[in-house]
Every structure is written in structure tokens, then in C-alpha cells.
Structure 1
């Protein structure tokens, strides 16, 4: 008889990883193909960049408006990426939660149902902008705390786990002390990880990790893990994994890594086609692309089940 004992949830796996004395590296992926490439490279966690349009000023939310459509797109996007490797913890951006407490609760429930292991939620106004742009507007601290509390309540009501990462953008215009006050307030009502956006120096990175290591958590323990957002060309220094670890970070995300590589390579390939008529590209065999997307696994599954789709080979 088959073993029907369910494996640990992605959130449980991520919590176990956070408990270890190491840093969790989360490559940014924006679709199923980049997710598979990251998994094939051996990564044990993924960070979901909602879609390339986040470059317009926020992630897929914010200034693009149409919140209900956006929320549904993000949820479906998260579900698709999480389903590629259900045992791999996926961290997602929840933007501002897409509204008041009811919408935050709905967003969290959607992410839990999608198989997301963790998400970060922030204190900007709903019509937000990227954390590495200027003149961001924040909600007041009471509104911010209500978002975190709503997320915690939704988690409790679901009976399942998801890690809540509290992100504040207060540093740029309100200073370090206000940013710390917001992070501590979020932890007081149940946030699990602290995310200070827009850190401006290695010294500031070390400071926030040190300060959060002394914060008392809601469960009575002491010490809150911190996340580093590595965005080349942004306001924060580009830290290597080792440098982030030495600062005290337990997680590092690279939202633009795949997008930057795609931008450079695809721009060059299109330019070559337009100017020289070159159709060769980098000459990756089409079969290799199919295998990257799971061709071998699909063939094996179909044949083992008695299917006829691939009985003559591919």
C-alpha cells in the first residue's frame, strides 16, 4: 500500500530553513520557464516576481490600477509557479494586500490555497511604486498594523501555515527609527520576518539585522529574521550572498536577476536578426528546451500509467 503520509508543507520547510544558521537564497523567477531553470540549477527556494510589468513602478499592482483583475492575475501566477514543484518553498510579493483588511485576508487565503510558502506585504498606499523609486507615500502605522493583523487572522482561520514577511518603505522619507517602529509593530501582531526596503549601506544593513535580532516575537521568543532585497541599480548596495549573510540576513531575494539577463540576451538576439538577418540565436536545440520544461518526466509518467501518447518515442 502506498505511503499516504503527507510531506511537510512548503511553509514548514521554509521555517525549518530559517531556523538553521545559513542564508536562504531566493532567485527571482517571473514565469514557468525561469522557475524551471532555477530549479534545474539546484535552488531550494524561489521568489516570484509577479510579471515583467512590475517595472512600470510597482510590481504588478500599484499604478496599473484594476485591483481585482490584478489580484486574480497574481494569485493565478503564484499558483502556476508553485505547482511546478509543490515541495519547493515559493516566496511571493503581496504588494499592499490590494486594499483594506478584508482584501488582505482574501489575498492571504488565495496564496495559501495556491501553495505559496511565504509572502511580503508593505506599508505603502494602495497606488504604490517600486521601493527603489523616490517620493513613496505610506499609510499611517495603525493602517499598516491592521494589514499585518488581517494577514495573521487569515492564516489562523485557514488552519494552515504561511510565513508573513513585513516590509516597510519608511526608511527613505521617514528615517530609520520610524522604519524600526513599524517593523516591531508588525512583529508584535504576528509577522515572522522583517524586510526593510531601501537599505542604503552595508552599515545600515548590519544595523537592522542586529536590532531585529533583539526583538521579542509574538510567540515569546527573541530574534526576528531579516530579508535583503538585492536590486542592481536601486538605492541599496549589491551584496553577494556571502556579504548578506555576514550582515546577518537570513534571506536574500533577486527580483530582477532573470529579467536583466533576458533583457540583455534577447535584445542582442533581436538586434542581430533585424540588422544582419541572423536566425541562429544561441543555437540551443529545441529538444533541450522541451526537456527543460519537463519532457522526460511527462513521457515517463504517461508510459508508466499505460498511456499511448509517447509509446513510439519523441
Structure 2
């Protein structure tokens, strides 16, 4: 299971922290890119981060339509106020439970209109400001209101007959982002100080091309009678190694 979180979209596309700056178009576009890296149905299911639904019941319906068309398997919507912030930060405020129930109902109605089986996950960010007891109450209300799954940010309770997503072990929001940050920072610090990037010799362009399925695309081309030959890589040792 993969997640397309807004924290990564904010960082990679906007160079901003996760403070609700990334909006529907950017997050949907990023999710669509990830969802379509593999042929339809062949990759792991993708969870999209739909934040607070982007302010309004009609926008929630449009957001769900956009995510369904993007090819994601699921999305989670949280109970923070519109001026939300990353779950890892302090000072999160949440909406009234009655408003959050409206969010869930809007999701269900939109899914029914679209005849979509996309999985609705409700994310509860109440633990920090209102305590564990209210979190459990909100989770139960979300389940009773029709949500398919729940996430309790910062904890992992058990609720009978209703599945919960344990974010710490199932959803790896930082799995690639943190590693990429370390690698890029190290490379550019080396470039600034010594004028080189330090690219390992065992990672030539050929390997990068293969990781991006160049050989598979060449095989498809050959099957159609095309002239593209995947073995014709630059053999100059400065750029590539066979």
C-alpha cells in the first residue's frame, strides 16, 4: 500500500511546509502520476491525502471525482479546520463533529453518484487538542456515518468490526522523501565544495534508464516492428558502463 501525502507534494512541488498550501489540483496531479507508474491493476493500491476536503461539501464531491479519475484506490479526509497543518506539528484545531459527519456524507454521496468503490478513510487529528476519549468517539461516529476505515493520528486503538489503518506501519509517508532529501543535500554540498556530485560508479545512466523501464518500452517497440534498440547505450565509461 502506497500513500501520496500532501507533505510530499508541498515539499517537492511547492518547496513549502505542510500547512494546507497544496490544494486539489497539485495533490490530484501528483497522485495521478504515482497511480499510473504501473499499468492499471498491476501496482500496489494508492491512498491519496485529501486534507480537509478543500473547504466545502461541493468541493469534496469534485475532489473525489478528480481522485477517482486519477486512478487512486482510496483517500483519507481529516477533521482539522481548513487552515490545517501537518499531523506532526503542534497546534492542530478540529471542526465540530457535526461538520465532520457532513464531510463523510458528502464523500459517500459523491462515491454513489460516481458508482465508485474507492475506499473512504477518515483521519482523526483530535488526539493532541481534545484527548483520547473524544478521538474514540469521533472514530465510532465516523464508522457509524458510513466511512470504510479510520486513522487515529498519533495512536492505534481497536474498534470492533471496523478496520483501522495504522499509519506508522502501513503508510510510509516519509519512506522516499527523507532519503531523497539526504542524498540531494549531500550531493549539492559536495558540488559546492569540490565541484563534483559524487555519483557512484555503479549507478550509470544505463541503470537509471532501466529503472525507468526503458528496456520494457523497447521490447514493446520491437513487437510493433519499430527500430528502437535498447542495447544501444553510450558505452563511454565517463557516462555509462555495460
Measured in 2, the distance between the counterparts of 1:47 and 1:312 equals 35
Q: Secondary structure in 2 aligned to 1:254?
A: coil
Q: Does 1:53 pair with 2:10?
A: yes
| Distance in 2, Cα, partners of 1:296 & 1:264 | 29
**Counterparts of 1:117 and 1:52, CA distance in 2:** 18
Q: Aligned partners of 1:124 and 1:291: how far apart in 2?
A: 42
Alpha-carbon distance between aligned partners in 1 of 2:133 and 2:230, rounded to the nearest angstrom: 65
Q: TM-score, normalised by structure 1?
A: 0.67
Alignment match, 2:140 = 184
The alignment partner of 1:84 has SS state of coil
SS of structure 1 residue aligned to 2:27: helix
Q: Deviations over 1:194-215 (max 9, x none)?
A: 100122xxxxx3xx12xx1x2x
8 A contact 1:47–1:253 mirrored in 2: yes
Q: Report the Cα distance in structure 2 between the residues aligned to 1:135 and 1:49, rounded to whole angstroms.
A: 20
- Cα-to-partner distance string for 1:117-167 (whole Å, 9 max, x where unaligned): 011100001110011211111111111111111111111111121011110
1:249 maps to none
Trace 1:67-82 onto structure 2 (pairs within 5 A): 70-82=23-35
List gaps (5 residues or longer) in structure 2: 234-242
2:192 match: 274
* Bigger Rg over Cα: 2
Where 2:171 maps in the other structure, the secondary structure is strand
Structure 1 residue 310, shift from structure 2 partner = 3.6
Q: How does 1:100-119 map to 2 (within 5 A)?
A: 100-119=56-75
Q: Aligned partners of 1:130, 1:280: CA distance in 2, in Å?
A: 33
Structure with more relative contact order (C-alpha pairs < 8 Å, separation 6 or more)? 1
Q: 66, 87, 90: which is aligned to 1:131?
A: 87
The question of whether the paired residues in 2 share the 8 Å contact of 1:169 and 1:197 is answered with yes
CA distance 1:298–1:311, change in 2 (3 Å): closer
Match of 2:113 in 1: 157
Match of 2:209 in 1: 290
Q: Paired residue for 1:248?
A: none
Aligned-residue CA RMSD (Å): 1.9
| TM-score, normalisation: structure 2 | 0.86
Indicate the residue corresponding to 1:9 in structure 2: none
Give matches, 1:16-35, under 5 Å: none
- Structure 1: segments with no counterpart, 5+ residues: 1-44, 200-204, 215-222, 231-240, 242-251
How far apart are the structure 2 equivalents of 1:269 and 1:310? Answer: 32
- Cα distance in 1 for partners of 2:108, 2:229 equals 47
Which segment is superposed worse, 77-86 or 147-156?
77-86
Q: Is the 8 A contact 1:112 1:161 kept in 2?
A: no
Q: Aligned partners of 2:121 and 2:220: how far apart in 1? A: 37
Between the aligned partners of 2:106 and 2:163, the Cα distance in structure 1 is: 21
Within the alignment, does 1:264 sit opposite 2:182 as a pair? Answer: yes
Show CA shifts across 1:95-133 (max 9, x none): 111111111111111111111101110000111001121
* Residue 91 (structure 1) aligns with: 47
User: Would you say the 8 A contact 1:52–1:259 is kept in 2?
Assistant: no
CA contact (8 A) 2:32 2:70 kept: yes
Q: Distance in 1 between matches of 2:230 and 2:35?
A: 30
